[in-house]
Amino acid sequence: MDKQVLLKEIDWPEIGSANPLPEPSTEEIESRIDKCRRMMKERNLTHLVVYGDREHFANLMYLTNFDPRFEEAVLILNLSGTPLILVGNESVGHLCISPLYNAKKLRYERYQPLSLLGQPRDNSRSLDTIFRLEGIDQNSKVGCIGWKYFSAQEIDNYQFQMEIPAYIVDNLRSICEHSNVVNASDILMSPSYGLRSKCSPYEIALFEFANVMASEGMKNLLKNFRTGVTDFELIKEYQYTGYPMNCHIGIKSSGNQHIGLSSPVGAEIRRGDPCSTNIGYWGSNICRAGWVAESEDDLPEKTRGYIDNYVATYFKACAKWFENMRIGTKGKVFRELIDKYLPFEEFAVFLNPGHLIHMDEWLNTPIYNGSEEEIQSGMYMQVDIIVRSPNYFSTRMEDGIVIADNVLRAQLKKLYPDVYKRCMMRREFMIQQLGFTLPEEVLPLSNMAGIIAPFFLNYKKVMSFKS
């Protein structure tokens, strides 16, 4: 029998803050490169060429802890020896963010065509020369990594289709045969075997820090939500910390409801309007959607019944999602249960109900129609079930969770005891105060885990299975 859903008033839990982590150790980064090289050998790849820019930084950062700020960068990795990173003029001074560079385990070269237009370009070797001196020749097989890969469903000869700049691929293919330059982004990004699809204890602690920072910002915004101000003014309540972001801060209110993914536009926050908002630092994205209201009395007539007919149903579906979030569950199970509990005609859940997240907001997902890919220990999942309605607008519970088996939980507890303790506090709140059934492997990272506050002018009113 389905549990009854209630709208009850609570004091939100005070889980505590998280301290910033030091940069990853040289050993942490080297372990990632070692795993990468093992996969290269399995595919008979002699080299990897990893491209990154300001938007598509996460794969490059995973292997070096370096992110290009204004420019592009290219990492050349062979089966042994010290990797080489090519950077533009302005990135040279940022290289010291990499523990590999500081340990003299990452060579660099200033390749000025990676710089912005008009900057000096008179002191660089050619890309052809660089590639050849890194051992790339007609007998090499090179895997290119950018930010996505393709399948036969999308395009013919998908393994040869590249998303990185043509000037890089053209140079490689002028040296090697066309068939010897392939897309290898799945090495890092496959939901089943990609190296970034499963987190180390360090990564879990890092992403918990990002979730805490973002969720505490969301809590502050909702606690101080008010009408009669612009979205520019209201968004200051996020208390943005300056930490890098993986997506723009968003808020949709009176002036931009028709614009998906909109940033603030200077519109007035008005009682009786729908509203959605998010903040996403590297490694997190916290989002909530509801109404600028204290109760259903503030809603338009067509929206009456919002709680019973819409939010309660969504809350139940999310609970079923959590109950099934176990190691070994196939991705198709989540698509099927969301389609069952949230019929498309009423809730319009189009995108995958849940996905992998990392430094970038969307890594990949094992959750899709017919998916045989299984939930695995180390996966960092975004609770991201997006519903829409012409009458009810939406509701949302979007936070990050990690799936961790006994071994990974023990490692986290030993290496980062405070992180582990906060995860246990969040579990207790979700189970004891909100009535969720959580598998033991679910570690919530957000200080708002499980909370749906449908009325933004009355944030203490939340959905719960417990009175």
pLDDT tens sequence across 27-57: 999 999 999 999 999 999 999 999 999 999 9
Are 40 and 143 within 8 A, CB to CB? yes
CA 308-369-258 angle, 5° bins: 55
Q: Which residues contact 332 (CB under 8 A, 6 or more apart)?
A: 367, 368, 369, 370, 371, 372
% of the chain beyond a pLDDT of 90: 99
Give domain 44-183's CATH number out of 3.40.350.10, 3.30.750.24, 3.40.50.1580, 3.30.70.2970: 3.40.350.10
Domain ranges of the chain: 6-20+196-464, 44-183
6-20+196-464 sits in which CATH class?
A: alpha beta
Give me the phi and psi of 308, to 5 degrees please: -70, -40
Overall average pLDDT of the 193-220 stretch: 98
Overall average pLDDT of the 98-122 stretch: 97
pLDDT at residue 1 in the model: 45
pLDDT at residue 458 in the model: 98
**Number of residues in the chain:** 467
pLDDT at residue 164 in the model: 98
pLDDT at residue 272 in the model: 97
pLDDT tens sequence across 262-271: 999 999 999 9
CA 137 to chain centre: 37
% of the chain beyond a pLDDT of 70: 100
Are 254 and 273 within 8 A, CB to CB? yes
pLDDT tens sequence across 366-397: 999 999 999 999 999 999 999 999 999 999 99
What predicted TM-score, i.e. pTM, was given to this entire model?
Answer: 0.97
Does residue 434 have a pLDDT over 80? yes
pLDDT at residue 432 in the model: 97
Q: With cut-offs at 50, 70 and 90, classify the pLDDT of residue 420.
A: very high
pLDDT at residue 122 in the model: 94
Give me the phi and psi of 370, to 5 degrees please: 75, 10
pLDDT at residue 250 in the model: 97
Q: With cut-offs at 50, 70 and 90, classify the pLDDT of residue 83.
A: very high
Can 6-20+196-464 and 44-183 be said to share one CATH topology? no
pLDDT at residue 467 in the model: 86
The rounded distance, in Å, linking the Cα atoms of 456 and 246 is 25
Output the 3-class SS for the chain.
Answer: CCCCCEEEECCCCCCCCCCCCCCCCHHHHHHHHHHHHHHHHHCCCCEEEEEEECCCCHHHHHHHCCCCCCCEEEEEEECCCCCEEEECHHHHHHHHHCHHHHCCCCEEEECHHHCCCCCCCCCCCCHHHHHHHCCCCCCCCEEEECCCCCCCCCCCCHHHCCCCCHHHHHHHHHHCCHHHEEECCHHHHCCCCCHHHCCCHHHHHHHHHHHHHHHHHHHHHHHCCCCCCEHHHHHHHHCCCCCCECCCCEEECCCCCCCCCCCCCCCECCCCCEEEEEECECCCCEEEEEECCCCHHHCCHHHCCHHHHHHHHHHHHHHHHHHCCCCCCEHHHHHHHHHHHCCHHHHCCCCCCCEECCCCCCCECCCCCCCCCECCCCCEEEECCCCCECCCECCCCEEEEEECCHHHHHHHHHHCHHHHHHHHHHHHHHHHHCCCCCCCCEEECCCCCCCCCCECCCCCEEEECCC
Overall average pLDDT of the 76-85 stretch: 97
Overall average pLDDT of the 433-449 stretch: 98
What is the widest separation between alpha-carbon atoms in the chain?
A: 73
Smallest Cα–Cα separation from 252: which of 396, 118, 134?
396
Mean pLDDT of the chain: 97
CB neighbourhood size of 59 (10 A): 27
pLDDT at residue 2 in the model: 72
Overall average pLDDT of the 313-331 stretch: 98
First-to-last C-alpha distance (Å) of the chain: 17
pLDDT tens sequence across 225-255: 999 999 999 999 999 999 999 999 999 999 9
Question: Which residue in the block uniquely carries the two structure tokens 């992998």?
Answer: 356
Overall average pLDDT of the 290-319 stretch: 97
